[in-house]
Structure 1
Amino acid sequence: MKLRSIELVLPHAQQAASFLTDIWGAALAETQKNTYYLRGSGSFPYLVALEQGDKSYVRSVTFVCSEDELAPIKENITAKGLAACPVTSTDLGGGEGILVELSEGQILRFLVGTEEVEPIEGKDLPVKLTHVVFNAEDAEVTGNLVEEVLNFKVSDRTKGMVFVRCNESHHSTAFARAGFCSLNHIAFEMEDLDAVMRGIGRLRDHSMVPAWGPGRHGPGDNVYAYFIAPFGAVVEFSTAVNKVPDDYQVGAPEDWTWPENRIDQWGMSDKDFDGLREAEEQFTFYRDWEAQPLS
């Protein structure tokens, strides 16, 4: 299973697409009516869909998988009584599968039979999404739920987050202990450390400075730089997240502590806690579909 894309609805979608292509570094894949599809250098047809709408919300976060992976998920969802429905994707790449709403409202989409595209050159293009993180009212409960129902695995727990994986990458998502449900941030996987640093420089050329970073996280060991995008969401340059084995020992909060006044391995940058918190509240989830049986 792989994390593929996030689908957002928001006012001023064209301006958001312009920022992500002209400044952030993604490429325009296609425009369909009122939706802009942005891709990276990898084989996914798009990473972010931006649909024009009256308010900002997350339509879905999309994972691509096999029939063998999807079948037990459907059974688990039905047994748990979560709201879900069958879906045929009209987004780039097509595919069929399901939409499911987690107990706090986060909406995930699982697709099989999707199409991929030829990779493209571009050393400053993101390769893919490395993770999409959610805020949660109760991160422990939600982390346990995705283990039980979606067959994801918790990789680590810290004072701030529960990190979850769907493949060998340390985390494809995480649930922040925020006390509310919304989108926390979108992380773009860059080719290497230099691509992350060039990205920081590119945004500085447009008078934008990191809200946090550059730095190196503990869980996942990935390099990061977070920015608050003009359209309201938190976006991250990231690279080199750890690959972990099936028997990876789940870390506890006491395993991830730092010296005083540090919040990452390097300790070289400040964090705009208030600005990030405000931005993390901007995109909630909205279900525009009716629950239906998955059989």
Structure 2
Amino acid sequence: MKLRSIELALPDPAAAATFMTRIWGMAEAETKGDTHYLRGSGPFPYLVAFEKAQDEFVRSTTFVCTSEELEALKARVTAAGWTASPTTSDDLGGGHGLLVELPEGTILRFLVGAAEVAPIAGRDLPVKLTHVVFNAADAEACGHAVEDILGFRVSDRTKGMVFVRCNDSHHSTAFARAGFASLNHVAFEMEDIDAVMRGIGRLRDHAMVPAWGPGRHGPGANVYAYFIAPFGPVIEFSTAVEKVPEDYQAGAPEDWTWPPNRIDQWGISDKDFDGLRQAEERFRFRRDWQAAPL
């Protein structure tokens, strides 16, 4: 299973797409009506969709999987009584599968048969989404839920997050111990550390400084730089997320501590706690579909 894309609704999708292509560094994939699709250099037809709506919310976060994985998901979701529905994708790449609403309202979409596209060149294009992190009222409960029902695995627990994987990448998502449910941030996998640093420089050229970073995380060991996008959410340049074996032992909060005044492995990053918190509260989840038997 792989994380593919996130679909966001917001009042001005064209402005969001302009920022993400001209400054952040994505490529235009296609515009269908008022929905803008943006891609990276890899084989997915798009990584982010911006859909026009009166309010801002997360429509879905999309994973691609095999037919066997989808059938197992349907059985477990049905047995658990979770809100879900079969779906056929109208987004780029097509495919069919299911939409599922997690206990705190997070909406995930799982697709099979979604088409891929030829990779494109561009050293400063993101390759893919490396993770999408959600805020949670009860992060522990969310972690247990996606392990039991979706078949994901908890990789690590810290004071701030429960990290979850769906393949050998340390985390494709995580649940932040925020006390509320919303989008925490979207992370874009860059080709290497130089691409991350060039991205920071590019945004500095437009008078934007990192809200957190550059630095190197503990869990996942990825290099990062977070920014607050002009259209609302927190977005991250990231690279070199750790690959973990099947028998990887999940760490506990006491395994991930730093010396005083440090918030990452390198100890050089500053963090705009207040600004990030405000941005993390903006994009909530909204179900605009009816539950139906799988």
TM-score, length-scaled by structure 2: 1.00
Q: Deviations over 1:157-189 (max 9, x none)?
A: 000000000000000000000000000000000
Q: Deviations over 1:256-293 (max 9, x none)?
A: 00000111001101100000000000100000001000
1:243-282 to 2 correspondence within 5 Å?
A: 243-282=243-282
Equivalent residue, structure 2, for 1:73 = 73
1:33-182 to 2 correspondence within 5 Å?
A: 33-182=33-182
One-letter identity of the residue aligned with 1:32: K
Q: SS of the residue aligned with 1:278?
A: helix
Equivalent residue, structure 1, for 2:15 = 15
Conserved in 1, the CA contact under 8 Å of 2:73 and 2:150?
yes
Q: SS of the residue aligned with 1:231?
A: coil
Confirm or deny that 1:25 pairs with 2:25.
Answer: yes
1:278-293 to 2 correspondence within 5 Å?
A: 278-293=278-293
Q: List alignment gaps of at least 5 residues for structure 1.
A: none
Percent sequence identity over aligned pairs: 74
Cα offset, 1:7, TM superposition = 0.2
Cα offset, 1:153, TM superposition = 0.2
Q: SS of the residue aligned with 2:98?
A: strand
Equivalent residue, structure 2, for 1:213 = 213
Cα offset, 1:43, TM superposition = 0.2
Q: Deviations over 1:128-179 (max 9, x none)?
A: 0000000000000000000000000000000000000000000000000000
Q: SS of the residue aligned with 1:118?
A: coil
Q: Deviations over 1:3-22 (max 9, x none)?
A: 00000000111000000000
Conserved in 1, the CA contact under 8 Å of 2:263 and 2:269?
no
**Number of residue pairs matched by the alignment:** 294
Instruction: Give the Cα separation in 2 of the matches to 1:152 and 1:101.
Output: 15
Cα offset, 1:238, TM superposition = 0.0
Instruction: Give the Cα separation in 2 of the matches to 1:270 and 1:200.
Output: 14
Instruction: Give the Cα separation in 2 of the matches to 1:157 and 1:276.
Output: 21
Equivalent residue, structure 2, for 1:227 = 227
* CA root-mean-square deviation: 0.3
Instruction: Give the Cα separation in 1 of the matches to 2:62 and 2:74.
Output: 15
Conserved in 1, the CA contact under 8 Å of 2:96 and 2:111?
yes
Cα offset, 1:115, TM superposition = 0.2
Q: SS of the residue aligned with 1:17?
A: helix
Instruction: Give the Cα separation in 2 of the matches to 1:39 and 1:77.
Output: 30
Q: SS of the residue aligned with 2:104?
A: coil
Q: Deviations over 1:226-264 (max 9, x none)?
A: 000000000000000000000001100000000001110
Query: Which runs of at least 4 in structure 1 moved beyond 3 Å after TM superposition?
Result: none
One-letter identity of the residue aligned with 1:144: H
Cα offset, 1:112, TM superposition = 0.2
Instruction: Give the Cα separation in 2 of the matches to 1:216 and 1:6.
Output: 24
Instruction: Give the Cα separation in 1 of the matches to 2:50 and 2:244.
Output: 32
Conserved in 1, the CA contact under 8 Å of 2:130 and 2:172?
yes
One-letter identity of the residue aligned with 2:291: A
Conserved in 1, the CA contact under 8 Å of 2:57 and 2:286?
yes
Equivalent residue, structure 2, for 1:195 = 195
Conserved in 1, the CA contact under 8 Å of 2:10 and 2:54?
yes
Instruction: Give the Cα separation in 2 of the matches to 1:105 and 1:137.
Output: 11
Instruction: Give the Cα separation in 2 of the matches to 1:255 and 1:229.
Output: 32
Cα offset, 1:72, TM superposition = 1.0
